[in-house]
Structure 1
Amino acid sequence: MNKYLFKLSILVLFFIGTVNPSNAQKKNFLIPDAVIIQYAGSIGYISVGAGYDIFKNERGNIDFNYGYVPVSKGGELHSITAKFAYKPFEIKLNNWGKLYPLNPGVFLSYTFHDDLSFKFNSSEYPSGYYYWSPALRPHISLSNEIELNMNKIWKEIGIEKIGIYTEFNSNDYYIINYFQNIKALSLADVFQLGVGIRFKF
């Protein structure tokens, strides 16, 4: 585990090191708009992350998550994920919240494990024999979210907004295998479900 945390720390330090310390605007960009906790959903048995609102109307999210799978749930795994989602539809729920019913998105996840690498060993497999990466997975997703305005519901809690969401996703490997084995696989075999909470302070 220490080896994977060391690699992750190096990546974080690299990105922080690319920021010009004299530029306050860039520093503020690093401060996340949300803290995220997610259960399942192809990015770990449990994952935590930081979220950033994009676009002036805050209809887009970019999230960065660290995911963990314990030994008891299939073997210890660590992953990092970069996610993007867009919220084209907004339904106001009086003055206490909003509903975003259909939010398409994409994300990339990378899993750290001794048996997984970015590409297959060229000494064991000819070039192009397997098209996918063992560790890197591109996904498509579709989520929905209800966002509660805590200033109207429970101001004393100190949280501005709480978003509760569900997210269905699938990856390149699952989708291609589905179309190659339509008779044997169902959509339930292809799509995974994650449930999460987004806290905005």
Structure 2
Amino acid sequence: MKWFPIKILCILPAFLSPAVHVCAGDTIPAPAVQTRRWDKRVHLKYKRWERLKPTQASLQYAGGMGMFAIGAGWDYGKRCQWETDFLWGFLPKKYAGEKTRLTFTVKQNYIPWSISFDPRWTLEPFYCGLYVTTITGDEFWKREPGKYPNKYYNFSTKLRPYIFIGQRFGFNPSHNLLRNISAYYEVSTCELYLVSKATNRTLRMKDILRFSFGIKVHLFRD
């Protein structure tokens, strides 16, 4: 059994090799990790408290978040396939009644694919997710007020959950700060619209679907 330590010493470098770690610039053997030649997303990691630094900013029009919403967030995952955003929006009194309303939204995206045409242009042909929006104002409530009969309103007027799908087209500029600038659109609906569609067959799809458009900027990490 004298050959056993020698065998271990021969195998150990394979586990300690940099090729085992999934990092930018690594060479991954085909049997270990299945690479995607058309997906050039790279996840650059923060350390310790630097993880709190936002990695992206976005501006969105419509979508149940008000007329415009602006926010910041983080991307993460081996291929940056997950994104979490916090957005603040406003709804002018023209559409909100007596005064302008503010909104707050928490949004979660999942981007399974990203296609790189060349070093500059990228396409995310499909992504999906969900978000929850709340609006300011005493006339909106989380629980049904006592003045209404029991279960007269089955939905909260303060919180609104949405689901959505979308597409995004991006550009990678030659800049030390900007990683990617992309334009996107999304098609969304909420639980109130879905229940209304299920109980009212006269409603058409265009009555329950909402379109939104936006711009997202991904930042480099040190």
| Separation in 2, partners of 1:78, 1:113 | 9
Counterpart residue number, 2:211: 193
- Which of these residues, 134, 139, 142, is aligned with residue 157 of structure 2? 134
| Separation in 1, partners of 2:178, 2:79 | 20
- For residues 117-145 of structure 1, the C-alpha deviation after alignment (integer angstroms, 9 at most, x for no partner) is 1111134331x333211110111010111
Q: Highest Rg: 1 or 2?
A: 2
When normalised by structure 2's length, the TM-score is 0.72
For residues 7-156 of structure 1, what are the structure 2 equivalents within 5 Å? 25=48, 27-75=49-97, 76-126=100-150, 128-151=151-174, 155=175
Counterpart residue number, 2:193: 174
Gap runs ≥5 in structure 2? 1-46
Higher strand share: 1
When normalised by structure 1's length, the TM-score is 0.79
Helix, strand or coil for the counterpart of 2:94? helix
| Separation in 1, partners of 2:179, 2:113 | 21
Gap runs ≥5 in structure 1? 1-23
Helix, strand or coil for the counterpart of 2:178? coil
Query: What displacement does 1:72 show?
Result: 2.4
RMSD, matched Cα:
1.6
Helix, strand or coil for the counterpart of 1:182? coil
The sequence identity of aligned pairs, in percent, is 25
